[in-house]
Amino acid sequence: MTHHVPQGLPGELKHYIGGELVDSVSGKTFDVLDPVSNTPYATAAAGRAEDVDRAVAAARRAFADGPWPRMLPRARARVLNKIADAVEAQDARLAELETFDTGLPITQALGQAQRAAENFRFFADLVVAQADDTYQVPGRQVNYVHRKPVGVAGLITPWNTPFMLESWKLAPALASGCTVVLKPAEFTPLSASLWAGIFAGAGLPDDVFNLVNGFGEEAGDALVKHPDVPLISFTGETTTGQTIYRNCAAGLKGMSMELGGKSPAIVFADANLDAALDSTLFGVFSLNGERCTAGSRILVERPIYDEFCKRYAARARDIVVGDPHDPATEVGALVHPEHYEKVMRYVELGKSEGRLLAGGGRPSGVDSGNYVAPTVFADVAPDARIFQEEIFGPVVALTPFDTEAEALALANDVKYGLAAYLWTSDLRRAHTFAQSVEAGMVWLNSHNVRDLRTPFGGVKASGLGHEGGYRSLDFYTHQQAIHVSL
């Protein structure tokens, strides 16, 4: 397997606090690996409470005295559009770095960089177009909503599609007039190191954006508990979300939680089978399967089950696993050896919980790097761990069903409720099923299409609150009611 190493990699990834790149107060660092060689290519500053204190102090200064929260929405939007221009202008470099650090296939990393730019454009437009409620009692009263940014936003992000997911929080937080401290994931800090230059070049005032690298239990924990951070936007694992939820309680902080998933794709016998196959393969094998909305359980109606399994497995065996930088690659290397080991444990477990149809270990002839062959298990029972637990890799469970009621029960029989995908040509069934399934987002005969104005979020163990469109702006702002009698 070839291994492309980008030119000009930084050897040290620092914090960005108060407009400067700085080391940790303690001087401590940690190694950052790339997922193909699994050797360290850089060290990152290991932030702790004292570094978070400095970052929050800078962000608070910018919030209390700086121009950003006080600027007209249109003036903020101009800066956000310049940020989008800068992201677009370096999308190829961003994708190269993201692919090197995460193992994502290069073509998909490029799409994520472009989506990050789009997030800034979208929230620039939204904040300018925003209208707030006004209620009049004729001749007696006027009541109106005055919207203001909440303060210093703590943003904590995961390692899958890191740059794009950071933009999904940074753009609405900044559009709303908040100042921020970002704590990127420790497995993948490389692309986040580009934000400082992008923001400075676009004219974001000093101290508005701050970044502290480090481990969740140290830097992340200190940010969550900091008394001057009134809200936390978190994306990551459900168990981490539970810890953060508890830690936010003391400060009664605002929280937005985008957590894990085990989303079902339900394929009825009347579905367009070719389209359903394309979509369900994409749903779990794109982004290396490291995708929160992965359709990792496929429920198939009995009359087409055998044919579906056969065609699905044949297509899975044809997926190109390889060097993440090769444009032909469809599945790259998993992010980190720890995560690779976790996925491989599920692959081994699956061999006793289902019938192995494809994959089942490393691709043949590949003996280094975090590579897992796209793996398909059939006849997986609902009490199997590979049916219930989030694997977050290129592994899928196929399960047959006989009736619509059984399909719904199976779809809902997990603790998660992030997404669901439904394939049927029966319009009535499509909508009644969609409305009954326990999922924050449902795709009917489609996948990977989403208007950024729609709510994004899960139910049950998949999250709390919604981001997306005006819901993001609601999260980062207080809506103060002002009442006037005439």
Give 235 or 329: the residue with its C-beta nearer to ligand NAD: 235
Q: Where are the beta strands (DSSP E) in 157-236?
A: 179-183, 209-211, 231-235
Return the residue of 185, 396, 397, 420 that touches ligand NAD, per CB under 6 A. 185
Q: How far is CA 254 from CA 128, 251, 279, 449, in A?
A: 24, 9, 36, 29
Give 175 or 182: the residue with its C-beta nearer to ligand NAD: 182
Is 45 a binding residue for ligand NAD by CB under 6 A? The answer is: no
Is 390 a binding residue for ligand NAD by CB under 6 A? The answer is: yes
Return the residue of 20, 65, 132, 217 that touches ligand NAD, per CB under 6 A. 217
In one-letter notation, the amino acid at residue 455 is P
Is 186 a binding residue for ligand NAD by CB under 6 A? The answer is: yes
Min dist CB 359 to ligand NAD, Å, is 21
Min dist CB 99 to ligand NAD, Å, is 18
Distant-in-sequence, close-in-space partners of 196: CB < 8 Å, separation ≥ 6: 16, 21, 209, 211
Min dist CB 1 to ligand NAD, Å, is 25
3-state secondary structure of 468: coil
Is 47 a binding residue for ligand NAD by CB under 6 A? The answer is: no
Q: How far is CA 438 from CA 1, 284, 292, 429, 460, in A?
A: 42, 19, 16, 15, 8
Token pair for residue 262?
A: 């085990």
| Beta pairing, strands 477-485 & 141-149 | antiparallel
Is 172 a binding residue for ligand NAD by CB under 6 A? The answer is: no
Is 359 a binding residue for ligand NAD by CB under 6 A? The answer is: no
Min dist CB 289 to ligand NAD, Å, is 11
DSSP secondary structure string, 113-163?
HHHHHHHHHHHHHHHHH----EEEETTTEEEEEEEEE-SEEEEE--SSSHH
Min dist CB 243 to ligand NAD, Å, is 5
Return the residue of 16, 159, 312, 401 that touches ligand NAD, per CB under 6 A. 159
Minimal CB distance to ligand NAD: which residue?
A: 216
Distance CA 178, CA 158 (A): 21
Give 44 or 124: the residue with its C-beta nearer to ligand NAD: 44
Q: Which of 98, 258, 301, 438 is catalytic?
A: 258
Is 191 a binding residue for ligand NAD by CB under 6 A? The answer is: no
| Beta pairing, strands 12-13 & 15-17 | unpaired
Stretch that binds ligand NAD, among 6-14, 84-92, 259-267, 353-361 (CB under 6 A): 259-267
Is 458 a binding residue for ligand NAD by CB under 6 A? The answer is: yes
> CA nearest 270: which of 396, 443, 427, 421?
427
98 is catalytic: no
Is 261 a binding residue for ligand NAD by CB under 6 A? The answer is: yes
Return the residue of 170, 174, 259, 284 that touches ligand NAD, per CB under 6 A. 259
* Residue span 399-418 as binding mask against ligand NAD, x where in contact by CB under 6 A, dash where not: -------------------x
The 264-267 sheet, strands edge to edge: 355-358, 375-378, 395-401, 297-301, 264-267, 419-423, 441-444
Is 389 a binding residue for ligand NAD by CB under 6 A? The answer is: no
Rg (CA), the chain: 23
Return the residue of 47, 66, 236, 400 that touches ligand NAD, per CB under 6 A. 236
Distance CA 95, CA 88 (A): 11
Give 28 or 351: the residue with its C-beta nearer to ligand NAD: 28
Stretch that binds ligand NAD, among 70-78, 137-145, 232-240, 358-366 (CB under 6 A): 232-240
In one-letter notation, the amino acid at residue 363 is P
Give 202 or 244: the residue with its C-beta nearer to ligand NAD: 244
In one-letter notation, the amino acid at residue 275 is A
Distance CA 210, CA 330 (A): 35
Could you tell me if 248 and 255 are in contact, meaning their C-beta atoms sit under 8 angstroms apart? yes
Give 210 or 424: the residue with its C-beta nearer to ligand NAD: 210
Is 224 a binding residue for ligand NAD by CB under 6 A? The answer is: yes
Task: Please report which helix (H) or strand (E) contains residue 433, including its range.
Answer: helix 427-436
Distant-in-sequence, close-in-space partners of 370: CB < 8 Å, separation ≥ 6: 35, 36, 38, 103, 333, 334, 335, 336, 337, 339, 340
* Residue span 285-304 as binding mask against ligand NAD, x where in contact by CB under 6 A, dash where not: -------x------------
> Catalytic amino acids?
258
Question: Which residues of this chain interact with ligand NAD, rule CB under 6 A?
Answer: 156-160, 165, 183, 185-186, 215-217, 220-221, 224, 235-237, 240, 243-244, 258-261, 292, 390, 392, 418, 458, 463
